[in-house]
Amino acid sequence: MFMARAKTHYICQNCGTIHTRWAGKCDACGEWNTLVEEGASGGIGSGPGMGKSRKGRAVALTSLSGDIEDAPRILSGIAELDRVTGGGFVRGSALLVGGDPGIGKSTLLTQAAAALARKSHRVVYVSGEEAVAQIRLRAQRLGAADTAVQLAAETNVEDILATLATSARPDLVIIESIQTLWSDMADSAPGTVTQVRLGAQAMIRYAKQTGAAVVLVGHVTKDGQIAGPRVVEHMVDGVLYFEGEGGHHYRILRTVKNRFGATDEIGVFEMSDRGLREVSNPSELFLGERSEKAPGAAVFAGMEGTRPVLVEIQALVAPSSLGTPRRAVVGWDNNRLSMILAVLEAHCGVRFGNHDVYLNVAGGYRISEPAADLAVASALISSLAGVTLPPTCVYFGEVSLSGALRPVAHATQRLKEAEKLGFQQAVLPLAGFDRIKGALDLTKLDNLPDMVARLAAAGAQQKKLRA
Ligand code: TYD
Ligand code: MG
């Protein structure tokens, strides 16, 4: 039907900004080619009552003090998942689970659904991506087929809500995925910002009204390339990212946002032929494939939230034939590497100008802590000088631009974990830790030049041994 004065808007699929005219670049977020035409009739605030003026309703104001109830939780019994959600799914809240396609979101949620159903919670699994037969096949493979999870293949929001209203309130509703949801209230295609936002809004409202926990699945790459979930992140109560490196079996579930708990937790899983297996000691996994004899490897004693994680950092420094030598990083911050290289050049007299530098964090793991600086610097020098580092030593500490080593949090926990895994030495900053003691042989250093000097001495000794 022809609609008079139907206005169209151009909505940036990256940040959700509404533009009145099309442009190649969104001036709000700076992304190119993200503007998509969407009907204004389906914009936010449309729907029944739009345009009619309504007298506002007064709400009761209250104070900041008063009784606080703990958020009511539903524990899945999958410890790695419950840790990341901060102690179980919260009733009446909405959680977004994002991740690259094929990473294992459906697998994880099928396992969680089955675990909850076994504890006689009511779980509804709505999939708009796969046919019922496909989901059943997966459930069989996961040994979850005999559970009382209720299944539907549906993508229309109104139909989903109507379906949910026909029976008793479920404890958990899983919607897979947010990109396939569409509402009658807008005529844009599924996956556009308008539809994603409407669908998410409807499901979040459902959660708040009924007290069911809602899990929304979203396909999204780490840099948020796919439309939708970025705008949903602001609306939901929690955001988890499921990540992993292609070729590795480890999967890491990471809290990005949590209104009911800490945001720096990770859960570690391993993908097997029968689903995801919990990994309760990630350090053992990340250190599993260590090559102790090669130069350029240093073990970093890291922390993820409340949990220590030991991981190997590998550096390869090789003479370059290029005018501009290569700098490639996997699992760490590119800028941080440039900074460490600059500090090594400026304060330690170590030159990387004619060398390609490759840095890799073993096991497909990603480090976000500055505490890894010292381990990275040690690995770099070790590779450049061809000196192996002692295989039973761990490193942690932040490097400042002046070359000084700065203390980091949770030193005791890092040292304990290293000790537990059979390490015998640790190198750490002197500042802040002058009184710290441990079962390990501790080397406390003031600055990075000291570290370089130590490695140079070790190098001279290794050369002598080889000669
Ligand atoms: P899936 O959960 O479908 O990923 P997503 O929902 O994030 O797109 O899982 C994808 C991959 O996991 C697929 O390539 C097959 C593999 N897989 C296993 O290795 N073992 C299993 O038991 C299952 C169910 C899947
Ligand atoms: Mg899936």
Q: 259-281: per-residue pLDDT in tens? A: 988 887 889 899 999 999 998 88
What pLDDT band is residue 17 in, cutting at 50, 70 and 90?
A: confident
Are 375 and 300 a contacting pair, CB within 8 Å?
A: yes
For Cα atoms 94, 221, 228, give the angle at the middle one, nearest 5 degrees. Answer: 50
In this prediction, residue 229 carries a pLDDT of: 62
Distance 176 CA to ligand 2 centre (A): 7
C-alpha 239, offset from chain centre: 9
- From the CA of 243, which ligand is nearest? 1
Q: How far is the CA of 106 from the centre of ligand 2 (A)?
A: 4
Query: What confidence score (pLDDT) does residue 113 get?
Result: 96
Q: Residues near 324 by Cβ (< 8 Å), separated by ≥ 6?
A: none
Ligand 1 centroid to 102 CA: how many Å?
6
Nearest to 396 by CA among 331, 334, 333, 310: 310
**Residue located nearest, by CA, to atom 22 of ligand 1:** 275
User: Do the annotations mark residue 43 as ligand-binding?
Assistant: no
Q: Is 106 annotated as a binding residue?
A: yes
Which residues have C-beta within 8 Å of that of residue 151, sequence separation ≥ 6?
124, 125, 126, 127, 132, 135, 136
Atom number in ligand 1 closest to CA 217: 6
Q: Is there a contact between 104 and 244 (Cβ–Cβ < 8 Å)? A: yes
Query: What pLDDT, on a 0 to 100 scale, did the predictor assign at position 6?
Result: 56
Mean pLDDT of 8-23: 83
User: What atom of ligand 1 comes closest to residue 242's alpha carbon?
Assistant: 7
User: In angstroms, what is the span from residue 257 Cα to ligand 1's centroid?
Assistant: 24
The pLDDT of residue 1 is: 46
Measured CA distances, 358 to 314, 323, 442 (Å): 8, 16, 29
Residue-wise pLDDT for 34-52, tens only, equals: 888 876 544 444 445 445 5
Please indicate if the annotation marks 104 as binding a ligand: yes
User: Does domain 73-280 fall into CATH 3.40.50.300?
Assistant: yes
pLDDT of residue 88: 94
pLDDT given for residue 443 in this prediction: 94
Which residues does ligand 1 sit against, CB inside 6 Å?
99, 101-107, 138, 141-142, 271, 273-275
Quickly state the pLDDT bin for 223 (edges 50, 70, 90).
Answer: low
Please tell me whether 66 is known to bind a ligand: no
pLDDT the model gives residue 45: 46
Handedness of CA 54, 55, 57, 58 (dihedral sign): positive
The annotation status of 82 as a binding-site residue, yes or no, is no
* Ligand whose nearest atom lies closest to the CA of 180: 2
Query: In this predicted structure, which of 105-119, 225-239, 324-338, 342-356 has the lowest mean pLDDT?
Result: 225-239
- 99: annotated binding-site residue? yes
- Take residue 294 and report the two structure tokens written for it: 């090669």
User: Which tokens go with 466?
Assistant: 């080889």
What percent of the chain shows pLDDT beyond 70? 91
End-to-end CA distance of the chain: 88
Q: Which ligand 1 atom minimizes the distance to the CA of 176?
A: 6
Lowest mean pLDDT across 25-29, 135-139, 409-413: 25-29
- Among 97, 107, 249, 277, the mutation site with the greatest number of ligand 1 atoms within 8 A of its Cβ is 107
CA 321–ligand 1 middle distance (angstroms): 42
pLDDT in tens, 409-425: 999 989 998 998 889 99
Q: What's the mean pLDDT in 8-26? A: 84
- The whole-number pLDDT of residue 43 equals 45
User: Can you tell me the mean pLDDT for 338-346?
Assistant: 96
Ligand 1 atom 14: the closest Cα is on which residue?
102
In whole angstroms, what is the distance from residue 274 CA to residue 141 CA? 6
Q: To test the ligand 1 pocket, which listed residue (271, 272, 278) has its Cβ within 8 A of the most ligand atoms?
A: 271
Task: Consult the annotation and say whether 226 binds a ligand.
Answer: no
Q: pTM for this structure?
A: 0.77
Q: Which ligand is nearest to the CA of 101?
A: 1
Q: Which of 131-140, 201-210, 431-440 has the lowest mean pLDDT?
A: 431-440
- Can you name the CATH fold of 285-466? Ribosomal Protein S5; domain 2 (3.30.230)
CA of 128 to the centre of ligand 1 (A): 16
Q: Is the pLDDT of residue 327 over 90?
A: yes
- Inform me whether the pLDDT recorded for 317 exceeds 70: yes
Ligand 1: residue whose CA is nearest its atom 16: 104
Q: Tell me the average pLDDT of the chain.
A: 87
What pLDDT is recorded for position 238? 94
